[in-house]
Amino acid sequence: MELGSLSTPSLVLSRTVLEQNAERMKSRAADLNVQLRPHVKTAKCRQIAKLATTGNTPSITVSTLTEAEYFADAGFQDIVYAVCITPDKLDRAASIAKHTQLHLITDCLSVADDVANHSSSHRVFIEIDCGEHRTGVLPESDELLQIAERLTKTQRSRLSGVLTHAGHSYACRNEHAMRAIAEEERAAAVLAAERLRAEGYEVPIVSVGSTPTACFAEHLQGVTEMRPGVYLLGDLFQAGIGTCGLEDIAATVLTSVISRNLQTNTLVIDAGGLALSKDRSTQSTDFDAGFGRVARIDEGTPMDGVFIHEVHQEHGLIRLPEHLNAFDFPVGTRLRVYPNHICMTAAMYSHYEVYGTSLQITERWPRTNGWT
């Protein structure tokens, strides 16, 4: 089937661009001499995770226990669940850990006690705050050592290492700033690991990661792995801050013109707040893209000046720029929308429609969404 014949809205994925993105980050990890443990919270798809990983025991990062279950079922044997664990989730985690090596994370003394006293053994990272101040303990804090002590005191659970995420790299608007944050991220993780080792703890894994810092780190000495994720699919925000080009955006939303107004030169499409998400991350930047930028289906990058200006649940409004005329976009015309933030947009779809260089749909790859 041709891409243009799919029902709309659909989430369409260029296998060619995806593979290029995957290979580029594999090379980057090799150059930095670290293991690549891609965060698959963006892709949520076993086929994509397989393309993104290497080796006999490919390692991945997930954001929900539902993802952990799905990827364990798919044969992934080394999984980090990179959202702080709560005591009530330990039974479910233990059940997953029967089939795969599952690592949890925490930044909390009382949770460390709960893990240590739980009936099952767990592998646990201590989360480090490298400057984002969202979650994690400071690398120089007393809590770091206290959590390690409590986690390991019953000798049932073991310390996997330290893990940090420089989410504040998303606020950077140039390479210089991203390099600086990447060094903060590296230094915080390495300092935490060194302090734990000085106290006699084994720290097998020192884990950092975000797409901006993975792209711009000058070196990762002392780090053993990195966990970028969004680079696999790319989006307008990432293109705007320079971690990819527009031509590296692999996933877009196929949509149809459903109404138009020739007087106001406006198109209405069948991709609205649900099909695109209401993410407005580009708003705070110099490259505000509304709710997405619009391309013709056979062109690899968006048209100049064509944005989604407004969304309702199932409607998107495009006010065309002067050099384009709504007359040339009759009802039924297929378009593609480049999303602001693909993690949010892709989450609305049960699967990807995968196409090759000829714009023929070759496969349908399922995603795992939700929490149960």
Secondary structure of the chain in HEC code, one letter for each residue: CEHHHCCCCEEEEEHHHHHHHHHHHHHHHHHHCCEECCECCCCCCHHHHHHHCCCCCCEEEECCHHHHHHHHHCCCCEEEECCCCCHHHHHHHHHHHCCCEEEEEECCHHHHHHHHHCCCCCEEEEEECCCCCCCCECCCCHHHHHHHHHHHCCCCCEEEEEEECCHHHHHCCCHHHHHHHHHHHHHHHHHHHHHHHHCCCCCCEEEECCHHHHHHCCCCCCCCEECCCHHHCCCHHHHHHCCCCHHHCCEEEEEEEEEEECCCCEEEECCCHHHHCCCCHHHHCCCCCECCEEEECCCCCCCCCCEECEECCCCEEEECCCCCCHHHCCCCCEEEEECCCHHHHHCCCCEEEEECCCCEEEEEEECCCCCC
258 in contact with a second copy (CB under 8 A):
yes
Residue 142's contacts (CB-CB under 8 Å, 6 or more residues apart) are: none
- In angstroms, what is the minimal distance from the CB of 272 to a second copy? 9
118 in contact with a second copy (CB under 8 A):
no
User: Which of 96-104, 105-113, 243-251, 296-304 is the region at the interface with a second copy (rule: CB under 8 A)?
Assistant: 105-113
State which residue, 142 or 304, has the beta carbon closest to a second copy: 142
Does residue 211 contact residue 36 with C-beta atoms inside 8 Å? no
| Residues 161-180 interacting with a second copy (rule: CB under 8 A) | 167
What tokens were used for 265? 């030169």
- In angstroms, what is the minimal distance from the CB of 350 to a second copy? 5
Instruction: Please select the residue that binds a second copy; options are 60, 97, 108, 163, rule is CB under 8 A.
Output: 108
235 in contact with a second copy (CB under 8 A):
no
Per-position x/- string for 177-216, each x denoting binding to a second copy as judged by CB under 8 A, each - no binding? ----------------------------------------
State which residue, 229 or 240, has the beta carbon closest to a second copy: 229
User: Which of 128-136, 194-202, 211-219, 292-300 is the region at the interface with a second copy (rule: CB under 8 A)?
Assistant: 128-136
Instruction: Please select the residue that binds a second copy; options are 226, 249, 270, 339, rule is CB under 8 A.
Output: 270
Instruction: Please select the residue that binds a second copy; options are 55, 56, 88, 357, rule is CB under 8 A.
Output: 88
Does residue 155 contact residue 120 with C-beta atoms inside 8 Å? no
State which residue, 8 or 14, has the beta carbon closest to a second copy: 8
Euclidean distance between CA atoms 16 and 358, whole angstroms = 10
State which residue, 132 or 225, has the beta carbon closest to a second copy: 132
222 in contact with a second copy (CB under 8 A):
no
328 in contact with a second copy (CB under 8 A):
no
- Tell which residue, 192, 193, 171, 195, has the closest CA to residue 181: 171
110 in contact with a second copy (CB under 8 A):
yes
| Residues 22-61 interacting with a second copy (rule: CB under 8 A) | 41
User: Which of 131-139, 187-195, 199-207, 355-363 is the region at the interface with a second copy (rule: CB under 8 A)?
Assistant: 131-139
314 in contact with a second copy (CB under 8 A):
yes
- In angstroms, what is the minimal distance from the CB of 174 to a second copy? 22
User: Which of 68-76, 84-92, 116-124, 231-239 is the region at the interface with a second copy (rule: CB under 8 A)?
Assistant: 84-92
State which residue, 60 or 111, has the beta carbon closest to a second copy: 111
User: Which of 132-140, 182-190, 205-213, 237-245 is the region at the interface with a second copy (rule: CB under 8 A)?
Assistant: 132-140
Rounded to a whole number of angstroms, the distance between the first and last alpha carbons of the chain is 33
User: What residues line the site for a second copy (CB under 8 A)?
Assistant: 5, 7-10, 41, 63-64, 83-89, 92, 107-108, 110-111, 133-136, 167, 256-261, 264, 268, 270, 273-275, 277-280, 312-315, 317, 330-332, 343-344, 347-351, 369-372
